[in-house]
């Protein structure tokens, strides 16, 4: 397994986060790097960024995880992001190109939908108007668009997820009388994760309560849509995408940061 020259390498911080969250254990740092081990496999991560060494680490990591080195590289690069894949399809199977006007509308609508759910993630609202959440807008400003992927026309939207705070071992435990107490102070859900979760819930709600029934939602369904994070602005942006003749289907999938 070898990395193509065009692959963008992850940072050392991404490598450390990936190994830590996927069950690898680190030995004390040595003069040139740190050795990580898991189930008999060993991977040495250098202290200084070096493309050749990082590429070698990714190759060994992919071999240990028994998967494609390119897929492993993407997983490491995106370890600290929730990634929403927006996929546009038409009858002729968009593969590597899309009308410029359609692509512009798709990206603009994706931003509007993310901004709407960044507001309804804080409180449910049927219509936002101009009262968007300032905290939610900050999440949108901190988000990225990844390179488009082959396979219809797929745009990854990347929302950075902060590292969870480690529980304080001095906190009282739920069962103080046990020899190995269980801490009850689990890390709270980051607001950035809540935004992406609300986006996914909203898309699923529109599918379940509007698309599948194939008829206008009744009052109960409208209340359910709002409860699950759907707003007028979200629906308008989604309709803006589906109105494009070049797009026959539109779907989203989410790859969650661990």
pLDDT tens-digit readout, 182-201: 555 566 889 999 999 999 99
Minimal CA–CA distance to 145: which of 158, 162, 131, 126?
Answer: 158
Domain residue spans of the chain: 12-77, 81-255
Quick one: tokens of 155?
A: 């745009």
Dihedral sign (CA 181, 164, 256, 228): positive
Please state, in angstroms and as integers, the Cα–Cα distance from residue 34 to each residue in 47, 61, 94, following that order: 7, 14, 44
Distance of CA 88 to the CA centre of its chain: 18
122 close to 192: Cβ distance less than 8 angstroms: no
Please state, in angstroms and as integers, the Cα–Cα distance from residue 122 to each residue in 92, 116, 193, 204, 237, following that order: 40, 10, 12, 18, 20
118 close to 137: Cβ distance less than 8 angstroms: yes
User: Could you give the CA distance from residue 164 to residue 136 in angstroms, rounded to a whole number?
Assistant: 19
- Average the pLDDT over 209-237 and give the result: 93
β partners of residue 154: 87, 149
- pTM of this structure: 0.82
| pLDDT value, residue 5 | 58
Distance of CA 78 to the CA centre of its chain: 8
- DSSP letter at 150 equals E
Q: Which range has the worst mean pLDDT, 70-74, 128-132, 166-170? A: 166-170
Q: What is the CA radius of gyration of the chain?
A: 22
How many other C-beta atoms can be found within 10 angstroms of the C-beta atom of residue 251? 13
Domain at 12-77, CATH from 3.30.160, 1.10.260, 3.90.550, 3.40.50:
3.30.160
Query: Average pLDDT over the chain, rounded to whole?
Result: 87
Higher pLDDT, 93 or 230: 230
Quick one: tokens of 143?
A: 């988000």
User: Could you give the CA distance from residue 95 to residue 112 in angstroms, rounded to a whole number?
Assistant: 25
* Residue 171 predicted with pLDDT over 80: no
């Amino acid at each position: 397994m070898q990395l193509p020259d065009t692959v963008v390498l992850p940072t050392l911080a991404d490598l450390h986060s990936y190994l830590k969250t996927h069950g690898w254990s680190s030995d004390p740092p040595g003069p040139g790097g740190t050795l990580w081990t898991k189930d008999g496999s060993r991977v040495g991560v250098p202290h200084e960024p070096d493309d050749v060494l990082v590429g070698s680490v990714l190759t060994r990591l992919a071999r240990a995880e028994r998967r494609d080195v390119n897929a492993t590289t993407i997983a490491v690069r995106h370890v600290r992001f929730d990634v929403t894949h927006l996929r546009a399809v038409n009858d002729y199977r968009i593969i590597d190109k899309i009308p410029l006007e359609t692509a512009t509308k798709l990206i603009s609508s994706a931003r509007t939908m993310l901004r709407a759910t960044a507001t309804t993630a804080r409180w449910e609202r049927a219509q936002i108007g101009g009262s968007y959440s300032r905290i939610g807008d900050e999440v949108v400003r901190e988000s990225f668009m990844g390179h488009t992927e082959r396979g219809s026309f797929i745009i990854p939207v990347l929302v950075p997820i902060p590292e969870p705070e480690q529980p304080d071992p001095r906190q009282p435990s739920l069962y103080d009388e046990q020899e190995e107490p269980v801490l009850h102070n689990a890390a709270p859900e980051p607001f950035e994760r809540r935004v992406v979760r609300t986006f996914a819930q909203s898309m699923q709600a529109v599918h379940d309560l509007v698309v599948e029934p194939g008829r206008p939602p009744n009052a109960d369904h409208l209340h359910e849509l709002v409860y699950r994070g759907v707003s007028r602005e979200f629906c308008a942006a989604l309709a803006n995408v589906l109105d494009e003749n070049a797009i026959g289907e539109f779907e989203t999938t989410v790859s969650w940061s661990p």
